[in-house]
Amino acid sequence: MDDTPPDHGPAPEEPATPVPSSVTSRRMLMLGAVGASSVVAIRPALAQATASILACQIPVPDPGNAGKYIASDGSLAPPSLLGPITGYGPFPPPSRPFTGDEVQKAMFQGQNLPGATSKATQAYLAYIRKLKMGQSGYTCFLSVQNPRT
């Protein structure tokens, strides 16, 4: 049995009174109390944790392409009456941007996006997956995918 303290721990405390050399001095270790805690999780500041997903938005399509319709593969298309009639797209853009929370539920829990049929949801999600850095909604989309948020 090794009497030396682990090498990553603090330096051993020497006993206050000299001890005979035949007795090795061991560092004291407190086991603590039943009610106390020795493992504490670091909690991020509130702003970090809650603001990110809840508050972020993904406009479909991005404002630079306002008014365009969304084809079922997520690409942009000119407005067309055919889509809404057949139900297979191109779909008119949603009336407001989606929140990160809504997109996360649609992507990972199979829910439809608000106000959208399941086919329209798939089209919108396909559009969102194609977002590139610099387009509105891209950074929100990244945090949707990041399991930590």
Partner 1 sequence: MAVPRYRAAEAALLIVEPLDIFTAVYHRPSGITHLLNEPAPQILEALDEAPLDIEALLARLAGTYDLGDADEDDTAILRVRLDELEAAGLVDRL
Partner 2 sequence: MRHRIALRVGLVGFRIGSDWRAPIAALDALYRDYPRADFAHYSVRLEAASLARRWLRPAVRTMGDYHLPDAAPLALAHGLLAAEMGMNLQVALGHRRHLLLHAAVVARGDRAILMSGVSGAGKSTLALLLSQRGWRFLGDEFALIDLTTGLAHPFPRPISLKNESVALIPPDRLTGPLLSGTPKGEVRHVAPDAAAVAAMDEPARPALMIFPRFGFPLTLQGMAPTETFVRLTQASTNYVALGEAGFRALTRLRAEVPAVALDYPDGEAGVAAVESIWSAL
Which stretches of the chain bind partner 2, using CB under 8 A? 42, 44-45, 47-49, 51-52, 54-58, 63, 133-134, 136-140, 142-143, 146, 148-149
Backbone angles phi, psi at 72, to 5 degrees: -65, -20
Nearer Cβ to partner 1 (7/81)? 7
Nearer Cβ to partner 2 (74/97)? 97
Q: How far is the CB of 131 from partner 2 (least distance, A)?
A: 10
107, 113 contact by CB (below 8 A): no
- Determine whether 40 is exposed, middle or buried from the number of CB atoms within 10 Å of its CB (0-12, 13-18, 19+): exposed
78, 68 contact by CB (below 8 A): yes
Looking at residue 63, the DSSP 8-state letter turns out to be G
Nearer Cβ to partner 2 (112/143)? 143
Site residues, partner 1 (CB under 8 A): 1-3, 5-6, 8-10, 25-34, 37-42, 147-148
